[in-house]
A and B are shown apart, each in its own frame.
Chain A
């Protein structure tokens, strides 16, 4: 269904104030690391991890806000709900660390 003309106009104006459409940021777990290890995102974006290793890993926020368990070759995701610097790690291999910078 095509949007009504006035609705399009509203959206164009809103685009200056509101964040861009939500994105999905993809992070690969490979060879005991997150790749890329540091990403930038906006509130509302999703982060999706894919485990390319032959071992189970997790992506666990240091704040304990979320904890995503990923079996080998599986994918898991979260949606970023608030701005800030998020540090996360793997509970099984704490030498795996990553960071997400979330802007408004």
Chain B
């Protein structure tokens, strides 16, 4: 069982690496959509964890993810409405969704401790990736100051999630 678990974790980790689409820097409409999509993906993963996991720490973490990402995305929706920006699908958001589907399919095959470990490891990697994208691309590219500010707050929140996920992963 142990080698299988390792193999499964490695597969998930590999799948979690999101490559930001290369090319022109994203505009505000695209940035808003990427950030929103990233949040929705994490909410979906958390809901899967709440369905599958019996581990207290994992469940508490998943509940935090649903609550926080929902709150951030509500802010994001209110902001795009206020700014009259129409969120735009783009290569990066599409690749995020595609990779998330792969991760979800792998997670669904796992149960018990194997699921918990894979979910927690994936949450660490996922938040790392999203934080990297925020720092290197999304925040510097955002032109509207309110959007930039929300992304900066988002980065702090998700850095907190990353640390929390690392603690959960270590406890398993």
Interface residues of B in 49-81 (CB under 8 A from A): 64, 67-68, 71-72, 75
Q: Could you tell me which A residues sit within 8 Å of B by CB distance?
A: 31-32, 54-56, 72, 90-96
The count of residues in chain B whose C-beta lies closer than 8 Å to any C-beta of chain A is 15
A92-B64, A94-B160 given. 9 additional CB < 8 A pairs? A31-B156, A55-B68, A56-B67, A90-B160, A91-B164, A93-B156, A93-B161, A93-B164, A96-B160
Q: Which of A31, A56, A92 has the most chain B CB within a 10 Å cutoff? A: A92
CB neighbors of A among B134-172 (8 A): 153, 156-157, 159-161, 163-164, 167
Interface of A, helix, strand, loop or mixed by DSSP: loop
Residues of A within 8 A of B72 (CB): 55
Determine the chain B residues whose CB is within 8 A of the CB of A96 once the complex forms.
Answer: 160
Per the bound structure, the CA–CA distance linking A93 and B64 in Å amounts to: 10
Q: State whether A32 and B153 are in contact (beta carbons under 8 Å apart), knowing that A56-B67, A92-B68 are contacts in the complex.
A: yes
7 interchain residue pairs of minimum CB distance: A93-B160, A32-B156, A94-B163, A95-B160, A92-B64, A95-B159, A55-B71
